[in-house]
A and B are shown apart, each in its own frame.
Chain A
């Protein structure tokens, strides 16, 4: 009877604990990181009889229901999803910058080209000239604005990286502290389920920020390392992360691990994973490349119009001044350089510029110039060299072996883009010289295709081409050397003093063609027409401006689209993994309700056992009465 009482009370106790466990599960059904628990029952031992009855039931332990493999799977997918989603969110904002074609760079460029078309019709009209200057200014400010917005996106992503680093550092610190508490708990032989939950939740949080591998030790303590094995938490020692400027390019950020012993090591971007990797990829690679393309287009446009402007004369007859200002390339030595060389770079050919920055290294005998956009390497024994439209020179000093430099090219152009002219009469719509056939010509001699390659001291000097026969002519004028007896072939090109023209027709002896200074530059539209025709010239590294811009728009769109697809995909993988993990570890309220009924019945039954034992005892007592 006393055994029955004992059995009954152990069952009552077990059912009560089971009910409490169920209650705890219900209470924490939506607590992040909570792993459902089960009271594990075990039959209590022998009571000494030869036939086994047992002594009731014991609660062996309160067990967390979880599958370590599914937890690991979920964490790995969590960092993948965090990485792809962070990049996709960034690209989505970049994508929006190119959302409205009517306010984009392409539209600004087309308005600029159209304004040149309008000034060809009305070169003398100062409002048409003002319209060109207004479009120059609009194009420059549009480029600067889009570039500024892109820089803003990158710096906002860098700011987020800093926040994420702080989160990761807090998590690493908490994990080390938790390891300490887990050690203590094990020393006191308890099973700290709440600490295990906390540990797994912290590991999940850390994986959202960066990919981290965890190994659970015997006492439940966790060892955390980066994906390539750099230790982050070992026992109660923890490392901290920090953001540092990239050694070569200070506008980019690297993540370093500060080990507990005080030394630091850099984590490669591919090693990072998680939100940090997504943000870094977006800020330094996606935005960087879009900015470089914009820089290339802006510089090519500015330089091609400046060059053409320089070949014309303005309304006052002065050679054209630059329409656009543009940022110059800069070269900065790496802080660790041991030589004292200062390298300089300048734009030589705007139409040959690439959408890239460069790194320059010196190995003691050779310079290697690496184009960062496609890792193309060129080596040179000496400087200066002309590469991709840039002249790279040794400004001063001597480089030492191992020295490195960053040549900021495409990323620097837009920073200096601006409109240079304010006076509409400064627009060089005219060419400095005009051809005038002799009024008494008897043949049909004509000059066409007059163009200027460079305005020189003698460009505007009058030059006379006079035919001494149908097939020979003399040239007279300052700067020509006055050659005589030149042979005429129809369609021939003649070049003197920076101009060139094509002669055609059948001249007769005595016929002349005069090349004279333009009399009325304010009303001359020939250079304006040449500028208008630049509109669709292949002056951005072999392609038209609008094609390059369309490529940029398409590229941004494609990246945003594929990043969204990748983000959705990895989010789905994470959800699948979470679904698998929670199907084991999560709380199902219906299940808990059913369990509650079951345990409640068990409790009632156990109480009945005790009541029965009591009745048996009472019956026995009554038999003595």
Chain B
């Protein structure tokens, strides 16, 4: 077959350009570290990568939300612990108050102690969650949820929940735990119960018997309150465990996702380097053969 010199040169040059384009492409993969630099590099993988990236974004959001719940619940756990130890102290104080040998002055001192405990308990029950809310804020409260009287709940009872896959409370119900705790016969406020005891203890006209009686009945309330808080604390602990498991799952999911993403879009360096070397050799061969062949002409021998 005849070869047209001009056309042969053009084809040879086109060939070199193609080889160079392939070389640039492997260089691009190596410098970006990505096998896919645009969807056409692997449409199916590019589409799946979008889904994987999205799944990761959801997991990251879930991790933040659940991590927040973990922090809130840990805070709640120690708050319950503080409330419980205050109630234990109140219990001891009441036990001493139940002693009929106490004189007025003894009872007054006990009343003052109880009063201090009650103030501390109110402060603990109204403890801030550190992010603008309250541990016992129910379904959201902007000011201290439990009023100074200890019976009015300034929030809506219930809890605030976060998380999509694992729903988790980030607040506790102050009404059920403090201001209107259910009892067998109705509801009671631990603060109102303490107030009643304090009033009798501090009353110089009260009798030792009436003081002992109120101490006994308030002891019952304190015990119920300790029980209720321990039930709440158990729920918090359970939730914290579930959160731990969920966070571990999310962590594992993140690792799996990263591996999947990497296998979809990341370049296999060994393969890319070898393909780059191969392309480099091809370009060199094309250039060399071109310069040899292009130089060959019968005119050189005339």
Contacts and interface: CB of A to CB of B under 8 A. Distances in A.
Given A104-B50, A524-B139, A440 B182 contact: yes
A111 B61 CA distance: 9
B4 A120 contact: no
B156 A436 contact: yes
Contact of B53 (A107, A442, A519, A578): A107
B28 to A, nearest CB: 11
For B37, B47, B137, B158, the residue with the greatest tally of chain A CB atoms inside 10 Å of its CB is B47
B262 to A, nearest CB: 13
Interface in A190-228: none
A101 B156 contact: no
Given A30-B6, A575-B11, A441 B182 contact: yes
Nearest to B145: A520
Interface of B: 1-7, 9, 11, 14, 37-44, 46-51, 53-54, 57-58, 60-62, 64-65, 68-69, 131-133, 137, 139-142, 155-158, 160-162, 164, 170, 175-176, 180, 182, 186-187, 265, 297-299, 302
B40 A92 contact: yes
A113 interface: yes
A554 B3 CA distance: 43
Contacts of A434: 139, 156, 158
A117 interface: yes
List the 9 closest A-B pairs by CB distance, nearest first.
Answer: A586-B4, A557-B39, A523-B140, A557-B43, A554-B47, A110-B57, A117-B61, A560-B40, A582-B4
Contacts of A556: 39-40, 43
Given A106-B53, A546-B54, 12 more contacts: A30-B9, A106-B50, A120-B162, A121-B162, A522-B140, A551-B47, A553-B47, A556-B43, A561-B43, A579-B7, A582-B6, A590-B5
A583 B3 CA distance: 5
Contact of A101 (B50, B62, B139, B160): B50
B42 A121 contact: no
A550 B51 contact: yes
A579 B4 CA distance: 8
B135 to A, nearest CB: 14
B297 A590 contact: yes
A381 B53 CA distance: 48
Contacts of B58: 110, 113-114, 535-536
A586 B131 contact: no
A578 B7 CA distance: 8
B297 A593 contact: yes
Given A117-B164, A441-B182, A582-B7, A436 B170 contact: no
A589 B157 contact: no
Contact of B5 (A113, A554, A558, A589): A589
A291 to B, nearest CB: 16
Given A110-B58, A519-B155, A583-B4, A439 B50 contact: no
Interface in A403-445: 434-437, 439-442
Most B CB atoms within 10 A — which of A30, A523, A547, A591?
A: A523
B40 A125 contact: no
A551 B7 CA distance: 43
Interface stretch (A172-180, A394-402, A491-499, A525-533): A525-533
A124 B6 contact: no
A117 B43 CA distance: 30
Nearest to B71: A121
A121 B65 contact: yes
Contacts of A549: 50
Contacts of B49: 101
B261 to A, nearest CB: 10
Nearest to A442: B182
Interface string A580-602: 00111111111101101100000
A114 B11 CA distance: 54
A596 B299 CA distance: 10
B133 A523 contact: yes
Nearest to A441: B182
Interface string A95-123: 11011011010110111011001101111
A583 B132 CA distance: 84
Contact of B60 (A104, A114, A519, A586): A114
Given A114-B61, A550-B48, A523 B141 contact: yes
Contacts of B157: 436-437, 439
A518 B156 contact: yes
Interface in A502-559: 516, 518-520, 522-525, 529, 532-533, 535-536, 546-547, 549-551, 553-558
Given A439-B175, A524-B139, A590-B5, A118 B64 contact: yes
A468 to B, nearest CB: 19
B50 A553 contact: yes
A444 to B, nearest CB: 10
Contact of B132 (A111, A124, A518, A590): A124
A564 interface: yes
A593 B40 contact: no
A523 B57 contact: no
Contacts of B182: 439-442
Contact of B142 (A106, A520, A546): A520
A29 interface: yes
B66 to A, nearest CB: 9
Q: Which of B1, B50, B175 has the largest count of A CB atoms less than 10 A from its CB?
A: B50
B64 A101 contact: no
B188 to A, nearest CB: 10
Nearest to B14: A575
Contact of B50 (A118, A546, A596): A546
Given A101-B50, A554-B43, A583-B4, A125 B132 contact: yes
Nearest to B142: A520
Contacts of A520: 139-142, 155-156
Interface in A119-137: 120-125
A532 B5 contact: no
A314 B218 CA distance: 43
Interface in A350-409: none
Contacts of B2: 583-584, 586, 588, 591
Contacts of B187: 439-440
Contacts of B6: 29-30, 582, 586-587
A625 B155 CA distance: 149
Nearest to A536: B58
Contacts of B131: 122, 125
Contacts of A593: 297-299, 302
A124 B140 contact: yes
A123 B140 CA distance: 9
11 contacts: A98-B38, A107-B53, A436-B157, A441-B182, A529-B161, A553-B47, A557-B41, A582-B6, A583-B1, A583-B4, A587-B5
A124 B297 CA distance: 84
A558 B43 CA distance: 5
